Amino acid sequence: MTSDPIPTDTISSTSEDSEEEVLEQRHLIGQLFAALTARFRNEEGQLSIGVKRQDLLEALHINKTGLVRLLDLLRQQISPLGLELVEYRMGRDTLYCVRTIYGVPGELTDPEYAVLGVIISTVEQVSKLHRPRRVATKDIETILVARGRLSRYQLDRILRRLTELGYITRTARRITYGPRLELEFDAERREAIASAATLYLAGATADSEEDLNET
């Protein structure tokens, strides 16, 4: 971002704006887009998905209304490209990131997507009253490793990579959704995946185990 303070007047687009101001605004939007789609890790070593609002305010030297106007402009500009601006909260921070509307080639490989699907389908079966909804790593292992679909080493590597990329968060024995997974797969999509997975995970699933425990 440029270090020069940007007066809020330039951000409102009126017909009276001079050419220079319009050019400056475009330049600013370009830089904002670049910042929102940049890839970096935060101090804790986690992949940062998007930029915090506070950081944007400090970098741009504008107030909150100015930022909202600027983001609205950006939203208009990127929507013809099939992109959308997403605002989400993590802890106390509000973050902004850019997401695709349509299916595009993702970052993961096929086995990684498959493991992600297994995690989603098993976590979706956990009751919504449980917070956070989580699944034991052992259950994932029984579905994938015990049936010879992946080796234990492969599964470990994939889970580590998914953690690095912010899809899941892992404790010693359990897996929960990461922020990126909830951004990329909203609740409807997750349910759809869970229903599609019943075909693939035919036989004993966590579902049948739960039924057993209830009796």
Compute the distance between CA of residue 76 and CA of residue 157 in angstroms, rounded to an integer: 40
Pairing assessment for the beta strands 93-100 and 134-136 based on DSSP bridges:
unpaired
Nearest to 141 by CA among 164, 175, 166: 175
Compute the distance between CA of residue 90 and CA of residue 210 in angstroms, rounded to an integer: 31
SS3 85: strand
Q: How far is the CB of 183 from other proteins (least distance, A)?
A: 6
Q: Is 169 one of the binding residues for other proteins (CB under 8 A)?
A: no
CA–CA distance from 80 to each of 13, 99, 100, 101 (Å)? 19, 13, 11, 10
Nearer to other proteins (CB atom), residue 17 or residue 94: 94
Q: Is 122 one of the binding residues for other proteins (CB under 8 A)?
A: no
CA–CA distance from 112 to each of 36, 120, 122, 157, 200 (Å)? 25, 12, 15, 10, 16
Pick one of 10, 17, 47, 176: the residue that binds other proteins (CB under 8 A): 47
Q: Is 39 one of the binding residues for other proteins (CB under 8 A)?
A: yes
| Stretch of residues binding other proteins (CB under 8 A), selected from 5-13, 68-76, 101-109, 125-133 | 101-109
Pick one of 113, 152, 160, 210: the residue that binds other proteins (CB under 8 A): 113
Q: Print the binding letters for residues 170-209 with other proteins: x by CB under 8 A, - otherwise.
A: ----------x--xxxx--x--xx--xx--x-xxx---xx
Distance, C-alpha 101 to centroid of its chain: 13
Q: How far is the CB of 187 from other proteins (least distance, A)?
A: 12
Q: Binding-site residue total for other proteins (CB under 8 A)?
A: 67
Compute the distance between CA of residue 177 and CA of residue 162 in angstroms, rounded to an integer: 10
DSSP 115: H
Q: How far is the CB of 99 from other proteins (least distance, A)?
A: 5
Q: How far is the CB of 13 from other proteins (least distance, A)?
A: 23
SS3 2: coil
Q: Is 131 one of the binding residues for other proteins (CB under 8 A)?
A: no
Q: Is 23 one of the binding residues for other proteins (CB under 8 A)?
A: no
Site for other proteins in 65-94 (CB under 8 A): 83, 86
Compute the radius of gyration of the chain from its Cα atoms. 22
Give residues in contact with other proteins (CB under 8 A): 1-4, 33-35, 37-41, 47-51, 55-56, 59, 83, 86, 97-104, 106-107, 110-114, 116-118, 120, 142, 146-150, 180, 183-186, 189, 192-193, 196-197, 200, 202-204, 208-209, 211-213, 215
